[in-house]
Amino acid sequence: MKRFFKPVEKDGSNKKPALSHGGDDGETAGEEKKKREPLKFLTWNANSFLLRVKNNWPEFTKFVSDLDPDVIAIQEVRMPAAGSKGAPKNPGELKDDTSSSREEKQILMRALSSPPFGDYRVWWSLGESKYAGTALLVKKCFKPKVSFSLDGKASKHEPDGRVILAEFETFRLLNTYSPNNGWKEEENSFQRRRKWDKKLLEFVVKSLDKPLIWCGDLNVSHEEIDVTHPEFFSAAKQNGYVPPNPEDCGQPGFTLAERKRFGAILKEGKLIDAYRYLHKDKDMECGFSWSGNPIGKYRGKRMRIDYFIVSEKFKDRIKSCEMHGRGIELEGFYGSDHCPVSLELSEAISDSV
């Protein structure tokens, strides 16, 4: 079976595969000098990367070609990590030890070898099954140091592949797929999300030495302006269950407890919400990144849960931050229930950031 990747040397993190594209990385000294650091970023919860490649790739490819981002952060990859049943898994590699997994890997690698994606190097952080997982695509002219956990240990991946951390010369970029809060006071629900938020808070506080761009599906809508129907989401419940703490009541991602913790992370990390910094008013057409099923009680119910969060030091460099989906019919969502979100920064003046 033909492979569509080749090994590359260590870059200070794990040894990772790089997609083949004309034999070398394709960068030149002139390109590196022209753009020292990435300036255009895209984040998207693909809701199964493989399904998007199979069903929505031409449209998404055109979108990426037109936007031409330097960095693409993907969440909910939903591809299993390498390793046979019962054996230790390698979250940085796609599973390929069965005929079906080899075929699926080949489909993905072919897609990521074609223009414009062949211009990017890809890092994976994957779960043990087709659940969660993240990917990071960075143009090959940039050379970040990449790790996969909030403690910065290159050899360690967060459970379910929820974190990819890329360190560039003047800033860090954090791609996360934050766990859903769930509906109940259980270990894999409220408790899991509380632990996650605590870990994020500790990370942003200890990372104040360098500007941060934090992106991804953060699974929280910070303010009422960030949902279409605040009363609906505040009153939502599953099977009639009412949590004992009133602050845990409501739609996962819109409970008062989650929103307060998110606010604390922003405050303590000296971070700002790039989209809300530029867009002060509610936009019922294009102001939300997640949309409920067009059929049923969630039709027309939308939330903004995908973000670019940036250090206050970058506030004056934010040129644009846009959501690229619109309406309740999921236009611009490319088959997912989330639309892509982009961020563009202006170049730093002199050596300042």
Residue 15 falls inside a structural domain: no
Number of domains in the chain: 1
Q: Is 177 a residue of the active site?
A: yes
Answer yes or no: is 296 within a domain. yes
Of all residues in the chain, the percent with pLDDT exceeding 90 is 80
Instruction: Specify the pLDDT at position 9.
Output: 41
Q: Which domain holds residue 176?
A: 40-345
pLDDT at 26 over 70: no
**Residue of 222, 229, 324, 338 marked catalytic:** 338
* CA distances, 19 to each of 66, 127, 136 (Å): 21, 21, 13
In a domain, 18, yes or no: no
Q: Which of 21, 96, 120, 177 is catalytic?
A: 177
* 9 within some domain: no
Q: Read off the pLDDT of each residue in 56-72 and give the average, rounded to a whole number.
A: 98
- Pairwise CA distance, residues 226 & 237, whole Å: 19
At which residue do the structure tokens 């590196």 appear?
32
Buried b (16+ CB within 10 A) or exposed e, 124-153: bbbbbeeebbbbbbbbbbbebebbbbbebe
- Ranges 68-77, 151-160, 229-238: which has the least confidence: 151-160
Q: Is residue 25 part of a domain?
A: no
Report the mean per-residue pLDDT for the chain.
Answer: 90
| Confidence (pLDDT) at 351 | 52
pLDDT value at 50 more than 90: yes
Q: Which of 343, 338, 91 is nearest to 219 (CA)?
A: 338
Helical axes 190-206 vs 256-268, angle rounded to 10°:
10
Q: Element (H or E) spanning 320, and its range?
A: strand 318-323
The confidence score (pLDDT) of residue 28 equals 42
User: Tokens for 16?
Assistant: 């990772």
Average pLDDT over residues 107-129: 97
CATH (domain of 120): 3.60.10.10
Tell me whether residue 209 is one of the annotated catalytic residues.
no
Q: What is the DSSP code string of 204-221?
A: HHHTTTS-EEEEEE----
pLDDT tier, 350 (very low <50, low <70, confident <90, very high otherwise): low
First-to-last alpha carbon distance for the chain, in angstroms, is 47
Query: Could you give the CA distance from residue 252 to residue 263 in angstroms, rounded to a whole number?
Result: 16
Closest to 226 (Cα-Cα) out of 251, 249, 254: 254
pLDDT exceeds 90 at position 136: yes
Residue 117 lies in a domain: yes
Mean pLDDT of 76-100: 93
**Tens of pLDDT along 160-195?**
999 999 999 999 999 999 999 999 887 778 999 999
Query: pTM of this prediction?
Result: 0.89
Least confident of 150-164, 200-214, 312-326: 150-164
The answer to whether residue 47 sits within a structural domain is yes
Indicate the range of 13-27, 129-143, 277-291 predicted with least confidence.
13-27
Look up 217 and say whether it is catalytic.
Answer: yes
Residue 338 to residue 290: CA distance in whole angstroms: 5
Catalytic residue among 119, 160, 217, 306: 217
Residue 229 lies in a domain: yes
